[in-house]
Amino acid sequence: MTGSCFAERLEHYLPLTDREKVALSRLEDIERHYRRGTVIRRENDRAHDIFVLRAGWMYSYVLLDDGSRQILRLHFPGDLVGTSGGAFVAATDSLVALTDVKLCPFEKGALSVLFEEHPRLAALLFVITQAERVSLTDRLASLGRTSARARVAALLLDTIDRLRLMNRDIGNSFHLPLTQEEIGDATGLTAVHVNRMMRVLVEEGLITRSNSTIIINDEERLARIANYINRYAELDTSWLPAPR
Amino acid sequence: MTGSCFAERLEHYLPLTDREKVALSRLEDIERHYRRGTVIRRENDRAHDIFVLRAGWMYSYVLLDDGSRQILRLHFPGDLVGTSGGAFVAATDSLVALTDVKLCPFEKGALSVLFEEHPRLAALLFVITQAERVSLTDRLASLGRTSARARVAALLLDTIDRLRLMNRDIGNSFHLPLTQEEIGDATGLTAVHVNRMMRVLVEEGLITRSNSTIIINDEERLARIANYINRYAELDTSWLPAPR
DNA sequence: CGACCGTTTGAGTGCGGTCAAAAGAAGTGG
DNA sequence: CCACTTCTTTTGACCGCACTCAAACGGTCG
C-alpha cells in the first residue's frame, strides 16, 4: 500500500513504478475532513487547488440565473475533483460534500512536476480526462435525446459502475445518498417526476428500493432502456510513454 | 509562420518556442481533403488516429437505439478532433465534415513524444482538454435546465466565440452551415421547434437571418437569456512547466 | 414530541413533440 | 440551361411528457 488513493485508482489501468507512486502520494500530503453538506468551494472562488477524493461522495454543480441547479458530476473515492481549476483562474463550478468526506487538496502547480518528471503519469492523466469527457458526452446524449425514465436509469448504472472501480465486490446493490431533488438536478428533471420514474422502474421489476439502498435486478435490460454504455471498464493505455 | 494550424491556436494562450512549434508541426505532416457530408470515422471504428482540423467545420455525434442523433460538439479550424481516441481503442463517436475540410490525421502514439519531450505542451494540452470539458458541462446545464429558446441562443453564441479564436475580425455575424435539423440534434430539440425559436429570436430583435448568415444584434442580452459564458477568452497557463 | 426535510400521490397545465402539407432552395442529370 | 428530384424551411393543428402546484405522509434529528 502506498497510501495514495489516486495511485490505487490508476493502478487499475496500469501497474505503476515506485517512483511514480511516490510522486502521486505527494498530492495527498494534506488530508482534510468535511461534514456532509459542506460547500467546499463555490463557483467563481479562486481555484488554486485540485483535490483527490479519498473517502465519501461529492458532486459539482452550477446555479443558473433563475435559481435552478444542474449537477454536473458525482465524485467517488479515487476521483480527481475540481480539475477545471487546472484551466481557469476562477472555479467554474461549486463543490459539495454529499456524505462526510476525506479530501486531499493540492496546488495546481504540483501538476507541473508531474508533467516534467513523470510523462507517463501525465499521459495517463490525459487519458483519464478524455474518459471523463466521453462520460460527459454520454450524459449530454442522455439529457438531449432520452426519456425521463431512461435518464434516471442511466444515473443509477453510471453510479454503480463507478463505485465498482474502487470496490470490486459491490454486487448489484448500493447505498444511494442522493435526494430525489438531487437526482432531478443531475438528470434535468423535477424531484416529483424523478419519484414517478423510480416507481415505474420498480414496478417494471428493473430495480428494488428500500430506504436509500438500490438493488439493480436486471442490469442488462436497464442498460438497454437507458442507452447506457460502461466507459470505465477499459482504457487504451497502449500508446503511453515509458515509465520513469 | 510555422505552417502548423494547431500551433497557431496554442499561441493564443502562450508564445511557443521554435522547438515546440517544430514538434507540433509533426502532427500536421499529412493533410487530407474531404467533401462536405463525408463521414470521416464511425462510432466503434478503430480509433488509431487523432486529427488537427485545418480548414472547414466538422461535428461529432452519436446515434441512439431509437435512431435519434445527438451532436456532441462542433469543430472549427485549429481544433483537435477525435481526442476520445486517446482514451479508447474504439471510437466513441462519429465524425462528419459539415463543409469541405482539410484534416491532418496523426497516430495517437505521436502524443507520446509530446509528453516525453515537451512537458509544457503536454500540460497545455491538458489545460485545453479541461476547457473543453467545462464547455461540455455548460452545454449539460443548457440541455438540462434551460428553455428551447435559450439553447438555440447558446449554440449561436458558442459558435461565434469559437470562430473568433482563430479569426479576430469576425464582428457580429457569421455564416452558419448547419441545417435546422442539425441545430436540433445539437440542442436536443426537433427541427420544427428550432425553426420556431429562431423566428422568436428574430422577432425579439436579438438576431437577424439572411440565408444561412446569422447577425447577432444584441450579444449581451442574448448571452443573458442563454445563460451563456464565454469560456475561451482566457485560460490559466500560469502553472505550466518551463518550455524546452 | 414537535419541527423539518424528503417522499409520495393527485389534478391540471404548458412546453416542446408529432404529424402533415406547402413553399422554397439546392443539387442532379439530360 | 432547364426539368426534375430531393432536401430544407416554414406554418398549422393537435398531442403528450414532464412541469407546477398542492397536500398528505413518513422518517429523522434536535
Nearest CA to A156 among A111, A198, A116? A198
Distance CA B140, CA A70 (A): 8
Can you give the pLDDT at residue B217?
A: 98
Tens of pLDDT along A112-148? 999 999 999 999 999 999 999 999 999 999 999 999 9
Tell whether A203 is covered by a domain. yes
Report the CATH number at residue A207.
1.10.10.10
Q: How many CA within 13 A on the CB side of residue A237?
A: 22
How high is the pLDDT of residue B115? 98
What is the CATH number for A106?
Answer: 2.60.120.10
Residue A77 has pLDDT above 80, yes or no: yes
Find the Å distance, CA of residue A175 to C1' of nucleotide C10.
30
Asked if B158 and B116 sit in the same domain, the reply is no
A108 contacts in B (CB within 8 Å)?
236, 239
Which pLDDT belongs to residue A86? Answer: 97
Task: Of A144, A150, A159, give the one whose Cα is nearest residue A226.
Answer: A150
Closest to A173 in 3D by CA, of A216, A235, A232, A233: A216
**Residues 6+ away with beta carbon under 8 Å from A61:** A69, A70, A71, A72, A93, A94, A96, A185
pLDDT digits over B156-177, tens only? 999 999 999 999 999 999 999 9
A109 and A53 belong to one structural domain: yes
pLDDT in tens, A181-209: 999 999 999 999 999 999 999 999 999 99
Transcribe A116-160 into DSSP letters.
Answer: HH-HHHHHHHHHHHHHHHHHHHHHHHHHHHS-HHHHHHHHHHHHH
As a whole-number percent, the residues of chain B with pLDDT over 70 amount to 99
Q: In the prediction, which pLDDT does B3 show?
A: 79
Identify which of B47, B65, B84 has the shortest CB distance to residue A133.
B84
Mean pLDDT of B174-189: 98
Domain boundary among A91, A125, A159: A125
Confirm whether A137 is domain-assigned: no
Q: Are residues B116 and B181 in the same domain?
A: no
B135 within some domain: no
- Residue A93 has which C-alpha cell? 463550478
Residues B112 and B17 in one domain: yes
Residue A209 C-alpha, separation from nearest chain B C-alpha, in angstroms: 25
Residue B11 lies in a domain: yes
| Nearest CA-CA distance, residue A183 and chain B, Å | 12
* Shortest CA to C1' contact from B199: nucleotide: D10
What is the number of structural domains in chain B?
2
Residue A24, domain member (yes or no): yes
> In this structure, what are the phi and psi dihedrals at residue B110, rounded to the nearest 5 degrees?
-65, -25
Rounded Cα distance, B194 and B130, in Å: 30
How far: B200 CA to D5 C1' (Å)? 32
The pLDDT of A171-187, averaged and rounded, is 97
Q: Choose one of B90, B125, B160: the last residue of a domain.
A: B125
Whether residue B121 sits in one domain with residue B157: no
Confidence of residue B2 (pLDDT cuts 50, 70, 90): low
Cα separation, B240 vs B179, whole angstroms:
41
Separation CA A33–CA A236 (nearest Å): 34
Contact assignment for A241 to B120 by CB distance below 8 Å: no
pLDDT, average across residues B218-243: 96
Picking from B63, B94, B125, the residue at the C-terminal end of a domain is: B125
Residue A64 lies inside a defined structural domain of this protein:
yes
- Would the pLDDT of B196 be above 70? yes
- Chain D bases under 7 Å from protein CB? 7-13, 17-22, 28
Kindly report the number of other CB atoms within 10 A of residue B218's CB atom. Answer: 14
A73 shares its domain with A172 = no
- Provide the pLDDT confidence category of residue A2 given band limits of 50, 70 and 90: low
pLDDT tens readout for residues A15-38: 999 999 999 999 999 999 999 999
CA nearest to B133 within chain A: A133
Closest protein residue to C24 using CA and C1' atoms?
B211
Q: Are B94 and B60 in contact (CB under 8 A)?
A: yes
Q: Report how far residue A98's alpha carbon sits from residue A177's, in angstroms, rounded to the nearest whole number.
A: 7
> Is B132 a member of any domain?
no
Mean pLDDT of B116-128: 98
Chain C footprint bases within 7 A of protein beta carbons: 5-11, 15-20, 25-26
Cβ atoms of A215 and A171 closer than 8 Å: no
A208 shares its domain with A110: no
B150 and chain A in contact, CB less than 8 A: no
Whether B18 and B101 map to the same domain: the answer is yes
B243 domain-assigned: no
C-alpha count within 13 angstroms, C-beta hemisphere, residue B115: 25
Q: How far apart are CA B222 and CA B153, in angstroms?
A: 6
Distance between CA atoms of residues B59 and B57, nearest Å: 7
Tell which A residues from 36 to 65 touch B, by Cβ distance under 8 Å.
Answer: 47, 62, 64-65
Q: What is the pLDDT of residue A233?
A: 87
Instruction: Indicate whether A46 and A106 sit together in one domain.
Output: yes
Mean per-residue pLDDT for A93-101? 97
Residues of the domain holding B51 = 5-125
Tallying the residues shown for chain A, one arrives at: 244
Apex CA B161: angle with CA A185 and CA A87, to 5°? 60
Using the predicted structure, report yes or no on whether residue B1 has a pLDDT greater than 70. Answer: no
Q: Do B118 and B208 share a domain, yes or no?
A: no
CA A155, A161, A164, A165 torsion: positive or negative?
A: negative
A239 and B112 in contact by Cβ < 8 A? yes
- B83 in reach of chain A (CB within 8 A): yes
Residues B28 and B117 in one domain: yes
Q: Which of B62, B141, B236 sits opposite A141 (nearest CB)?
A: B62
Length of chain B: 244
Residue numbers in A 174-203, CB below 7 Å of strand C: 179-181, 191-192, 195-196, 198-199
Do A104 and A18 share a structural domain?
A: yes
Model confidence pLDDT, tens digit, residues B131-149: 999 999 999 999 999 999 9
